[in-house]
Chains A and B, each alone.
Chain A
Amino acid sequence: MLSRIAESLFWIGRYVERADGTARILDVHLERLNHLPMEEQRSVARELLAVMGARPQSDEFGLDELLHALAYDKHSATSIAGSLGAARENARRARETVSSGLWESLNTTYYGLNQHRKDVVGTYRFCTWVLERTAMVSGLADTTVSHDESWLFLVLGRSLERADMTARMLSTRDVLSAGMSWVNMLRCAGAYESFLRTRRAAFGDQHAAEFLLLDRLFPRSIVYALRDADECLAKLDPSAQRVGFINDARRIVGQARTFLEFHRTDDLMSELPEHMERVQKAVSQASDAISRKYFNQADELAWVGEVS
C-alpha cells in the first residue's frame, strides 16, 4: 500500500484512541475536581493539563479553560475534538482505502462534535458520547476492514497510543494530592469489574497499579498494549532473523515491554513515575522509528532522469 495511506491509517488509530483515553480521564477527574476549593482547583487543572502533555495558553487557567483544552479545542491535538477532527481528516485522505462504514462513523462523529453543551454537566454527556463513538469506530475497523497491512497500521497506532494513554492515566494519580482513589483509577480505564473478578479481596493502590501496568489479559494494560503493538510490527515485517532485530521499532517496543514484565520490585508505587516516563518515551521513539521505516517520503519532488 501507499506509504502516505499507511501513515494516515496509523494516525487514525492513534487519534481515535487518544480521544477515547482523554474522555475517560476527563470524565473521572472532573468529578473529583468539582469537589475541590477554587484555589486548589486551579493548580490541579494546570497539572492535569501538563500530564496530558500540554501547557496552558494563558495565566488564567481554571476549570473552564481545562474543559476547553481537553475537550473542545478544535485546534489542538491534545483535546478530544482536535483528535477526532484529525482522525477524520486522515480518513478523508485515505478514504478509498478505509471501509465506508469506518469513514462514515468518523465523519458523523466529526459533525456531532458541535452538538454538545460545553459546561461541566454537558461535558459528562460529551465524554460518554465520545466513548460510544470511539467504540463504534474501533468496532467497525475490526469488522469491516480486511486484517491486512492497512488494518495492522491502524491497530499499531491504536496500541501504541493506548500504552501511552494508560501511562498518562496512571500519572494523573499524583496530581490530586487528596489522592485519586484506586477505584476511580480503575473506572477510568474501564477495568473496575475485571480487576475485582481477578483480584478478589486484594484491594489497594499497589494492586490496582499493577493490574493496569502488568496484567497480561486486560486489553488496556500497558503490557498488553505493547504486546499488541509488537505483534503488529512482527506481522508487518515478517523477516525472521537469528540474531537481534534490525527493525528499530520492534526493538524499542520489545525492550519497554520486557523491562516491565521482568522487573522485580517491592515498592511499585514509588517507582511508578519512573516507569511511566519510560513507557511514554518508548512510545514516542517507536512512533518515530515507524515513520522513518514505513512512511518516509521525499519531501520535495525530485527528478531522477530518463536513464538510471
Chain B
Amino acid sequence: MSDLFQDYSEAAGRSGAYDEMFAPGQETRRSYGQVAGALQELSLADVTARADSMARTFLDRGVTFDYAGEERPFPLDIVPRVIPADEWTVLERGVAQRVRALEAFLNDVYGKMAVVSDGVVPRQLVTTSAHFHRQVHGFEPAGGVRVHVSGIDVVRDAAGTFRVLEDNVRVPSGVSYVLENRRAMAKGLPEAFGQQLIRPVEEYPRRLLSALRKTAPSGVDDPTVVVLTPGVFNSAYFEHTLLAGLMGVELVEGRDLICRGNRVYMRTTAGEQRVDVIYKRIDDEFLDPLQFRSDSMLGCPGLVNAARAGGVTIANAVGNGVADDKLVYSYVPDLIRYYLNEEPVIANVDTFRLEEKEAREHVLDRLDELVVKPVDGSGGKGLVIGPDASKDELEALRQRIIADPRGWIAQPVLQLSTVPTLSGDKFGPRHVDLRPFAVNDGDDVWVLPGGLTRVALKEGSLIVNSSQGGGSKDTWVLADSPQVPVEAIPRPAVTVRERVSVWPVESNWRDSQKEQQQQQMSEAQEVAANA
C-alpha cells in the first residue's frame, strides 16, 4: 500500500475536500479499516490485473452505456465507497422524507394546489415549470403513487456534512450499475468482504416488482408488469434489460403496445395481452404522440388517456418533472415543513433564485465563483462551473441568465468529498457523489442500502456524469449488527454421498495384468532385436 498511496496526502491536501477514507494526517477512518487492510496486501501489478479483469467482465456481460452510438463499459474503480451504519441511518431517513414530501407536492399541484393558495410557493413557480404537464392535471393515477422510483443525489461538502444536490423523480437511472458493481467487486476484491457486514443490494428488483404490482389498477388480480424502453440505442438500455430480466417481466418498446378502449395491450405470438403496469423508462415528451410530441416514434398513442381512465398504471407518473425542477428544489425544505410537519433531515445546498432581483445582481457579479445550472437539465447538461469557465463562456452565460432568469439557478462551488481512485500507477483523491435509490409502494418508502457512487476520473474535476468521463464505485453500507442471527437456524449436517464412477483403464485386476504382459512382451522383443 505504501507505494500506491505515496503522494496521496499531498494530493488530498491540494483539493481541500473531505476524504472518505482518510482523516487528516493520512489516518484511515474506522469504516475503511477492512478495505485498507486488503489493499495493503496488493502490489501495483495485482491491482491493475484485477482492474483489467473487472473491465473485461463488464464488456463480456455487456455492462455498457451507449455513448454517441458506441457501447462503452462503465468504468468501475477498485476502491469501494464505504458508508458507516450511523451515517446511513440518517441518509435513509432523509431520502425517505424527501420522497414523501415530493409525492405530496405532486398530488397537490395536479389537484387542488393548496400549496399555492396557502402561500408556500408562488403559483408562477409551478405554472412556468417546463415539466408541469397540464395533460395529466386533475386525476389521481391508478394505484395512487406518483414517485415509485426516485434517485435523490446527495454530496458531502468540505465540512463532511451531507447535502441534497438534486432530486430525480422522472426516470432516475443507474441502479443496474449498483447491482453489477457488487457482483464485480465480490470477485475483484474478495479480501475486503470477509469480516465486514455489508448490506446486500440484490433485493432491489424484488422490491421494485412488488411495489409495481401493488400499485396496479384496482380489480386486477394478477397484474402484468412491463418495462417500457425507447430501444437499444438509449444510453441506459442495459439497465432496462437487466431490470426486466431480474423482475422476469417483458421489456417492451412503444411499437409492441397498443391502446384500445382505454386499456393497454402488447402484441405477443399468442395475440394481444393486457398490460396493467408500465414501468416507463422513456421521457414524458415521447410517451404519447396524442398528448405530447406528435412525431414521437417511441411511445404509444392513447397511454395518457388510458392512465386517466384508470386502465393502466404508469410508473413513474407522467408529469413528475415539475418536482425535480431545480427552482422547485430550492423550496423543498419548505415543502417538507408544509406537508409533513417535520424539519428536513438533510439540508439543501444554498441556492440563489435568479428571478429575485437582488440575488440575480449578486450572482451576476460573482459568476466566476459559482456553479450555474439550468433548472430542467439532467446528466450535467448545460451546467457551468464558474472557476473553470473561460471569459467568453461566462459572458454568454450572463446573457442567457438575463434573458431567462427562471431557467437558471446558482450555487456555490462545493468541494465534493473524495475517495482514493486508481489512476495510472497510484491512487489519487477523486471527487464523488452518491445517488441512493428509493422505491415507494404507497405505504412505505424503501431506500436501497447503498446506491450509485459516481466518481470524476480526472483530478480536480467535479463532473461525475458517465457521459462526461465519470466512472463509478461500489457503495458499501455497513451493518452495525448482524441482521439475522446465523446460529439460530438449525441446519442439517451435509452427508457425503460417494459418486459412482468407472475408470476406463485399470478398472480391474485383469487390465493391470494385461498391461504388464504387454510391456513384458515388448521388452522381450527389444531384447531379441538387440541380441
State A260–B177 Cα separation when bound (angstroms): 54
Interfacial chain A residues near B242, Cβ < 8 Å: 96
B residues 452-501 near A (Cβ < 8 Å) are none
Q: Is B245 touching A2 in the complex (CB atoms < 8 A)?
A: no
Q: Is B260 touching A107 in the complex (CB atoms < 8 A)?
A: no
Q: Is A294 touching B59 in the complex (CB atoms < 8 A)?
A: no
A residues 262-308 near B (Cβ < 8 Å) are 294, 297-298, 301-308
Q: Is B60 touching A96 in the complex (CB atoms < 8 A)?
A: no
* With A95-B62, A95-B241, A307-B261: A301-B255 Cβ-Cβ less than 8 Å: yes
* With A93-B232, A104-B61: A4-B259 Cβ-Cβ less than 8 Å: no
* With A3-B269, A95-B241, A303-B290: A104-B300 Cβ-Cβ less than 8 Å: no
With both beta carbons as reference points, the residue of chain A lying nearest to B298 in the complex is identified as A301
Q: Is A118 located at the chain interface by the 8 A CB criterion?
A: no
Interfacial chain B residues near A108, Cβ < 8 Å: 60
How many residue pairs at the A-B interface have CB separations less than 8 Å? Answer: 87
Q: Is A2 touching B260 in the complex (CB atoms < 8 A)?
A: no
A residues 67-124 near B (Cβ < 8 Å) are 89, 92-93, 95-97, 100, 103-104, 107-108, 111
Q: Is B253 located at the chain interface by the 8 A CB criterion?
A: yes
Q: Is B302 touching A306 in the complex (CB atoms < 8 A)?
A: yes
Q: Which of B59, B254, B259, B260 contacts A111 (CB 8 A)?
A: B59
A-B residue pairs in contact (CB < 8 Å), sample of 16:
A1-B268, A2-B252, A4-B256, A92-B62, A96-B251, A97-B245, A107-B59, A107-B62, A294-B269, A301-B301, A304-B259, A304-B261, A305-B260, A305-B302, A306-B262, A308-B260
Q: Which of B61, B253, B299 contacts A107 (CB 8 A)?
A: B61
* With A1-B268, A2-B256: A104-B250 Cβ-Cβ less than 8 Å: no
User: Binary interface profile of B, 77-120, with partner A (CB < 8 Å = 1, else 0)?
Assistant: 00000000000000000000000000000000000000000000
Q: Is B192 located at the chain interface by the 8 A CB criterion?
A: no
State A22–B300 Cα separation when bound (angstroms): 41
Q: Is B259 touching A3 in the complex (CB atoms < 8 A)?
A: no
Interfacial chain B residues near A97, Cβ < 8 Å: 245
Chain A residues engaging chain B, CB cutoff 8 angstroms:
1-6, 89, 92-93, 95-97, 100, 103-104, 107-108, 111, 149, 236, 294, 297-298, 301-308
With both beta carbons as reference points, the residue of chain B lying nearest to A306 in the complex is identified as B262
Q: Which of B61, B252, B290, B309 contacts A100 (CB 8 A)?
A: B61
Interfacial chain A residues near B260, Cβ < 8 Å: 304-305, 308
User: Binary interface profile of B, 296-311, with partner A (CB < 8 Å = 1, else 0)?
Assistant: 0101111001000100
Q: Which of A1, A92, A104, A111 contacts B269 (CB 8 A)?
A: A1
Interfacial chain B residues near A111, Cβ < 8 Å: 59-60
B residues 228-269 near A (Cβ < 8 Å) are 232, 241-242, 244-245, 250-256, 258-262, 266-269
| Main secondary structure on B side of the interface with A | mixed
Interfacial chain A residues near B61, Cβ < 8 Å: 100, 104, 107
Q: Which of A3, A92, A100, A304 contacts B256 (CB 8 A)?
A: A3
B residues 17-67 near A (Cβ < 8 Å) are 59-62
* With A306-B302, A308-B260: A96-B241 Cβ-Cβ less than 8 Å: yes
Q: Is A301 touching B300 in the complex (CB atoms < 8 A)?
A: yes
| Smallest beta-carbon distance A91→chain B, Å | 9
State A4–B250 Cα separation when bound (angstroms): 11
Q: Which of B245, B253, B300 contacts A4 (CB 8 A)?
A: B253
State A92–B254 Cα separation when bound (angstroms): 17
Q: Is B223 located at the chain interface by the 8 A CB criterion?
A: no
Q: Is A306 touching B261 in the complex (CB atoms < 8 A)?
A: yes
Q: Is A3 touching B268 in the complex (CB atoms < 8 A)?
A: yes
With both beta carbons as reference points, the residue of chain A lying nearest to B273 in the complex is identified as A2
7 shortest A-B CB distances, which residue pairs? A96-B245, A96-B244, A95-B241, A303-B301, A304-B260, A96-B241, A96-B251
Q: Is A298 touching B305 in the complex (CB atoms < 8 A)?
A: no
Interfacial chain A residues near B259, Cβ < 8 Å: 303-304
State A3–B302 Cα separation when bound (angstroms): 21
Q: Is B333 located at the chain interface by the 8 A CB criterion?
A: no
State A103–B252 Cα separation when bound (angstroms): 18
Interfacial chain A residues near B289, Cβ < 8 Å: 301
Inter-chain pairs besides A4-B267, A111-B59, A297-B256, 11 sampled, C-beta below 8 Å: A4-B253, A4-B255, A6-B269, A95-B245, A96-B250, A96-B251, A97-B245, A100-B245, A298-B258, A301-B299, A301-B301
Interfacial chain A residues near B60, Cβ < 8 Å: 104, 107-108, 111
| Smallest beta-carbon distance A67→chain B, Å | 27
State A116–B105 Cα separation when bound (angstroms): 59
Q: Is B261 touching A301 in the complex (CB atoms < 8 A)?
A: no
| Smallest beta-carbon distance B285→chain A, Å | 15
| Smallest beta-carbon distance A222→chain B, Å | 27
With both beta carbons as reference points, the residue of chain B lying nearest to A108 in the complex is identified as B60
State A149–B269 Cα separation when bound (angstroms): 9
State A259–B256 Cα separation when bound (angstroms): 39
With both beta carbons as reference points, the residue of chain B lying nearest to A6 in the complex is identified as B269
Interfacial chain A residues near B250, Cβ < 8 Å: 1-2, 5, 96
Query: Which of A96, A107, A297 lies at the interface centre, i.e. has the most chain B CB atoms within 10 A of its CB?
Result: A96
State A111–B259 Cα separation when bound (angstroms): 40
User: Binary interface profile of B, 162-198, with partner A (CB < 8 Å = 1, else 0)?
Assistant: 0000000000000000000000000000000000000
Query: Which of B62, B242, B258, B262 lies at the interface centre, i.e. has the most chain A CB atoms within 10 A of its CB?
Result: B62
Q: Which of B255, B261, B269 contacts A298 (CB 8 A)?
A: B255
State A159–B342 Cα separation when bound (angstroms): 66
State A123–B228 Cα separation when bound (angstroms): 42
Q: Is A301 touching B254 in the complex (CB atoms < 8 A)?
A: yes
Interfacial chain B residues near A5, Cβ < 8 Å: 250
